[in-house]
Structure 1
Amino acid sequence: MDLSGFFIVAPSVVGIGEPFELKLKLLGEVREIPPECFPLNQTEPQLSSRYNLSPRGLAFKDNVLPEFEGSIDLSGGDGYEGPATYTFEGGRRPIAAIPGIRYTQEGFHYITVTANGKQARSNPIRVCQAPPVERLFWGDTHAHTIFSDAIRSPEEVYGFARDEGFLDLFSMTDHAEALTDRQWDYFVSVANDHYEPGRFATLVALEWTNFEVGHRNVYYPGDYGPILRATDSPYQDLEGLYRAAREHGALLVPHHSANTQMGVKWHAGHDPEMERLVEIHSVWACSERAEHQGNPYPIRVQDGETDGQHVIDALNLGYRFGIIGSGDIHDGRPGDDLSSLQNMAQSHLTARQGIMGFWAKELTREAAFEAMWNRRVFGTMNVRVYLRFEVCGAFMGSTVRHDGPRHIRLEAASESPFTLIEIVRNGETVQKIEPGECEILWETQDGGSGGMDYYYGRLMREDGQMAWSSPVWVES
């Protein structure tokens, strides 16, 4: 099998001289991996159950070369200090974390990987002159397992998130209604077993699955929380869910809101204290706005989308949602899904997964939860762009009181050039640029509507992938 490309992940923020690892996978053709109880070799992923089947008809697919023997070349531009080559010895899947890399110059940097005529760049690395006060981390906070309607065991999915999706944060949100009390205790234990502060953070979480008013993911701040099933009488409606969330300090996140079958009825209820984020993009596609409003990735499966259920509709109702992307993956591959390549009819194929960027002081469960709670987050279509967005000096997710013109600052970087960046105010694009560059610092002003306004940034890359900042709310 020939090398087709690379999956490369570098840390988004480091200090000058700070050593870090470059994580990468060498890719080949996408192929289906059969279930197998007994690991026999290191050239294919091993599935832990012969009955690892999904009612959705999903199969586990892999795109890493079965093996690779030889060297790859590494180059990092000005200030790069690290290996110029890395060698794979063969006999196993070529997945590596290459240590001992650092930069001696501040600014944005990229590491280029070359092998067998193929070349790719890492995500941008922001090198800071001083030790970073906060860093940009990456998480997928929405996934399912064989216990509901997906594939792979919880341990396998956590392992993939850490070791192949190269995520900093992961949480399993399986459908609570599919789990017994004993199984829930097991899910909690698996989340806690995989938590490694400083390396890999996890959250205890579940999905509350109510088709009448819309699904919510539930995230607990600590190492335990009760199972909340929409089929249990205390939690059958939103009031019961909100009551439990307030009691346990849980964060609630509605998702795939625009979908006709599974979407969110915004007028059915809202708890502004506990519902602080919304999932704008996942494998179901984008719920930001309707297709007729310019959404290039509307939800098409499960009877498509319904007007009035988009993220913009909730924001226009006054709901103060931060914005995240997530996977909602069912194919066992958080952080690097292959959902759109399943052997299914086009009408049932899902989209590229989403991912969440979050700004935090450290990689711990507490810091990740705090970043989500304070809306210091943004969503992308599984691309690790650098993004900071401020209005009147207030960081995304904040509320600020200001009279007069609003100063807007958007800083972004990506390995693929940005073709369109828009400032959205109250659901409408009020300013836009077409930079055609990989690094952007855009400062502008807006006069506002005369009342309370929300602003967020919408970014489109040359390859069609998108990102959305969380809003800033400005009160006059």
Structure 2
Amino acid sequence: MIPTLSLVLAAAGVFNPWCSAASAATLEHNEFDATLLAPYHGDVRDARTFTLSFEYPGLQAGRKARRPVTWRLELVTPSGRRVAQWQGRLALGGTPRDVAVRWSGILAGRRPTPGIYRVRLHAASGSETADQAWDIAVGSVPTPALPAFSPLPTGRARMMAMPAPGALPYTVYYGNLHSQTRDSDGGGPVDNCHGAQDPQTAPYGPDAAYPYARRHGLDFLMVSEHNHMYDGSDGTNPDADPAQAKALYRAGLKTARDYSDANPGFLALYGMEWGVIGNGGHLNIFDSDELLGWEKNGKGELLADTPTAKSDYAALYALMRQRGLTGQFNHPALTGQFTVNGTPLAYTPDGDAVMALCEVVNSSAFSVSENEGETRRSNFELACNKLLEAGYHVAFSSNQDNHCANWGASYSNRSAVLIPNGVPLTRASFLEAVRARRVFATMDKDAQVVLTANGHLMGERFDNTGALRLQVAYASATGRQAATVAIIEGVPGRNGDVSQLSDKADVTTAPAPGAHFYYAKVTQDDGKILWSAPVWVTQQP
């Protein structure tokens, strides 16, 4: 019998004065959001408190503005059996709401069998849904054995200044590939930032973002402005000047180039976050010197360099491929996003050629933390796995989507790229690494993970005959230990579900003939997770 706790809550509807001042800016972010904080370890024996956070940016106070929310929280055993459930409902108004759910650490009157359990949240507000899942440790879980690994040198020498003998010939650089400034709806001062800003009204632009990120230890920062806000609005500004919109984009590119040139060792990137959330989906384009868009002013003049039809992802992928551009799926949802011919997360050959990364974790886009203390974060591994199963060759990234002036400082998560030793970190070397998928995602800026398959580095695609040996290497500069290792396998183009191949860091398998992908997932003893890039293997008969 599954114990059920039903909680019924009502939102207080406290007025947020920012909402009226920035109502236009919140249109792009006017969507239901739910996050789950599930402590990896219990506080007393295995007892712990799960925190559910709900938000709907753009809602204002008042009964008519409230949105009903229903939620269900489940505890699942390592074998996949649901053993506990909590559920409830609330009315969400103009301020975020938290719900605390306490688990005693007891199941059916006794201590549960030790292992790695999963906590799953499903929440809905109208037709909008959110799903989150995190693993937790219950009882004493054996520490996995790991292969010997010489940590790779890093851009700021957190681990090693020089490569060790026999180490892989790469240097790791850590950064944030998703942020906004005043060029669109970001750049709000942290002492008065409650969400997205009215476009081009905040005090801080790219010229402030890059030095801030560099001071806070990042090796690179991508400023990714909403492509449809260069007219100074979240809708369409009929009086907008196309020349001014295009000049602003070019100015951002120049700011990034100038800052990188003046600060060797730090890479300033500037580009666009293309698309809308409603009936769309956001993706970053890292390397376009053209502003792509669909907005037109009252005279019918395009407010961009190059026309792209709104929410036409097949056409966008084709244009990106023609231009040789590189993209990242931002905070992908399982439904209603990146739709082609009615299918969400749909595969196209053009999309596969240009989309290199998928955000697996984002910290809160509206965090004001400057000490990496943000607890709200979203997990998109389910959607990234769907993209991999659809046939996309994407590696994982982990970013912050900063809208306040705390670029890279809200949490300890980072995207990491592997650059050949002796090659400086530049736009060209960064793009080469991303296109090769020499990337890993981490919730700990001081850790690294590398997956190899028969000596092939993560990100590679290769044919294989006979046995396949998969090895997971992990290192921490702060003394953290790996608590669990999982090697995940799937089949590109199957459009099915991934599965766990092994909980060992060194495993040999005999794949069935055909295409496969594998990636590693390491959970540290503090609950922070690292994801390697996949390897793609075509097993010969």
Task: Tell me the TM-score normalized by structure 2.
Answer: 0.54
| Letter aligned with residue 392 of structure 1 | N
Matches within 5 A, 1:361-440: 361=420, 362=423, 363-414=425-476, 415=478, 416-426=480-490, 427-433=498-504
C-alpha deviation, 1:252, in angstroms: 1.3
C-alpha deviation, 1:454, in angstroms: 0.5
Matches within 5 A, 1:121-160: 124-125=159-160, 127-129=162-164, 133-150=169-186, 151=188, 152-160=204-212
Change (3 A) 1:474 1:466: same
**Corresponding residue to 1:194 among 244, 255, 259:** 259
The whole-number CA distance in structure 2 between the counterparts of 1:148 and 1:365 is 22
The whole-number CA distance in structure 1 between the counterparts of 2:276 and 2:412 is 22
Match of 1:320 in 2: 393
C-alpha deviation, 1:261, in angstroms: 7.4
Tell me whether 1:169 sits opposite 2:220 in the alignment: yes
3-state SS in 2 of match to 1:273: helix
Match of 2:329 in 1: 254
**Corresponding residue to 1:356 among 406, 415, 426:** 415
| Letter aligned with residue 212 of structure 2 | F
| Letter aligned with residue 424 of structure 1 | I
Match of 1:28 in 2: none
Q: Give per-residue Cα distances to partners, 1:267-304, cap 9 Å, x unaligned.
A: 2756111112212111259xxxxxxxxxx99849xxxx
| Letter aligned with residue 360 of structure 2 | I
Match of 2:30 in 1: none
Matches within 5 A, 1:10-29: none
Match of 2:233 in 1: none
Tell me whether 1:473 sits opposite 2:539 in the alignment: no
| Letter aligned with residue 395 of structure 1 | L
- Between 264-273 and 451-460, report the one with greater CA deviation: 264-273
Q: Give per-residue Cα distances to partners, 1:80-135, cap 9 Å, x unaligned.
A: xxxxxxxxxxxxxxxxxxxxxxxxxx95599xxxxxxxxxxx95437534598421
Match of 1:42 in 2: none
C-alpha deviation, 1:422, in angstroms: 0.6
The whole-number CA distance in structure 2 between the counterparts of 1:268 and 1:109 is 34
Match of 1:185 in 2: 250
Matches within 5 A, 1:73-92: none
Change (3 A) 1:383 1:227: same
**Corresponding residue to 2:308 among 221, 234, 238:** 234
3-state SS in 2 of match to 1:244: helix
3-state SS in 2 of match to 1:191: helix
Change (3 A) 1:324 1:129: same
**Contact 1:210 1:230 survives alignment (8 Å):** no
| Letter aligned with residue 177 of structure 1 | H
Match of 1:46 in 2: none
Change (3 A) 1:207 1:373: same
The whole-number CA distance in structure 1 between the counterparts of 2:294 and 2:452 is 38
**Contact 1:256 1:284 survives alignment (8 Å):** no
Match of 1:64 in 2: none
| Letter aligned with residue 351 of structure 2 | D
**Contact 1:204 1:225 survives alignment (8 Å):** no
Tell me whether 1:267 sits opposite 2:319 in the alignment: no
Change (3 A) 1:234 1:386: closer
Match of 1:34 in 2: none
| Letter aligned with residue 443 of structure 1 | D
Change (3 A) 1:186 1:195: same
Query: Percent of counterpart pairs with the same letter?
Result: 21
3-state SS in 2 of match to 1:266: coil
| Letter aligned with residue 434 of structure 2 | M
For the pair shown, which has the larger CA radius of gyration, 1 or 2?
2
| Letter aligned with residue 255 of structure 2 | V
List runs of 5+ in structure 1 lacking aligned partners.
1-50, 58-105, 111-121, 286-295, 338-351, 434-441
**Contact 1:378 1:469 survives alignment (8 Å):** yes
Match of 1:92 in 2: none
**Corresponding residue to 2:270 among 204, 207, 226:** 204
3-state SS in 2 of match to 1:310: helix
**Corresponding residue to 2:509 among 425, 431, 446:** 446
Alignment: residue pair count: 325
3-state SS in 1 of match to 2:292: coil
| Letter aligned with residue 266 of structure 1 | L
Match of 2:286 in 1: 219
**Contact 1:123 1:385 survives alignment (8 Å):** no
Change (3 A) 1:147 1:375: same
- Taking only aligned residues, the RMSD between alpha carbons, in angstroms, comes to 3.3
List runs of 5+ in structure 2 lacking aligned partners.
1-21, 27-56, 59-148, 189-203, 231-244, 297-306, 366-374, 491-497
**Corresponding residue to 1:279 among 341, 345, 359:** 359
Tell me whether 1:244 sits opposite 2:319 in the alignment: yes
Match of 2:523 in 1: 460
**Contact 2:280 2:338 survives alignment (8 Å):** yes
| Letter aligned with residue 405 of structure 2 | G
3-state SS in 2 of match to 1:128: coil
The whole-number CA distance in structure 2 between the counterparts of 1:447 and 1:259 is 31
C-alpha deviation, 1:225, in angstroms: 0.7
The whole-number CA distance in structure 2 between the counterparts of 1:382 and 1:209 is 29
Change (3 A) 1:429 1:284: farther
**Contact 2:520 2:532 survives alignment (8 Å):** yes
**Contact 1:228 1:241 survives alignment (8 Å):** no
Change (3 A) 1:273 1:134: same
